[in-house]
Structure 1
């Protein structure tokens, strides 16, 4: 029996996953949760074989949860399901050693088969994402530049960023200027939007 925890913040989709998986004779759904922190608690409590997890959830993202599972040395297999075919997300998922990375518009049979495949030691990536993985689309931003763009996306001004990070306004402007140039953007807001779309923030 393959023991599964489902972590998905959309209630209808979470319920659909659970209902369909329960029809399978070799799969048991142990818990259904709505955010990353609840998923972490459920994984510690139930010790599942597989966690089916959304990439964007409240409190802790699917990627952060995957890293936490790996850092803790837990044997739980990780199946990421997402609407996002972003190269940055996919690369982060690979770096976190997730076992499967699937798009939500795949047929449910593909999810079920993927759960069985990861249990047999395979790594599964949706066909539409395989090409993305091999695209040379590496993140050109330094950690500091990405941090500046994240704060920009949250609506902070240059002055507010400098106070928050204990940097001079000139230093903040230099980082933002560098990020804008690297992303061939016209403004810091556009640079932040580009970086988010690529999954680099």
Structure 2
């Protein structure tokens, strides 16, 4: 980073898991938006939108454009990166082996969590990989035997990032580069 970006929470303190889209804005644009921010506390399982609910997307886009063009552009870049990731995930399921996809998902989760240790159940990982839970158990066991990860009771710890990266499919780099153009990259997880 060149110093024009930093990551601060709504209260002004450094927050490595703050809103990535806002953190990606240049500091002057972020300062311009700061008076309009409202903290929203979300818990696991909270739903922001349910299919079939009425939303006024045109009004939202209009308000965002009035508020700040840079924010609108950031949201558009973020949306495009999510479409890229969605398409790549679909292709990955058909093209790459389970252990490669597992290594990619573990690496991407560590990137997003800014930590080499995170909670992730085998059931959820199986859903992300589109495989049975028993397949996840087998693959996680093999990665653990190689010293890449430690997996116990729903908690994953990446022990050797380079060793795990040797197993990831090419989709990891494509998705990582797409996200890096939208969101500032934090230091490698500790």
Does TM, scored on the shorter chain, surpass 0.5? no
More helix by share: 2
Bigger proportion of residues as strand: 1
TM (norm. structure 1) is 0.28
Please give the TM-score of this superposition, normalised by the length of structure 2. 0.30
Higher RCO structure, 1 or 2 (CA under 8 Å, sep 6+): 2
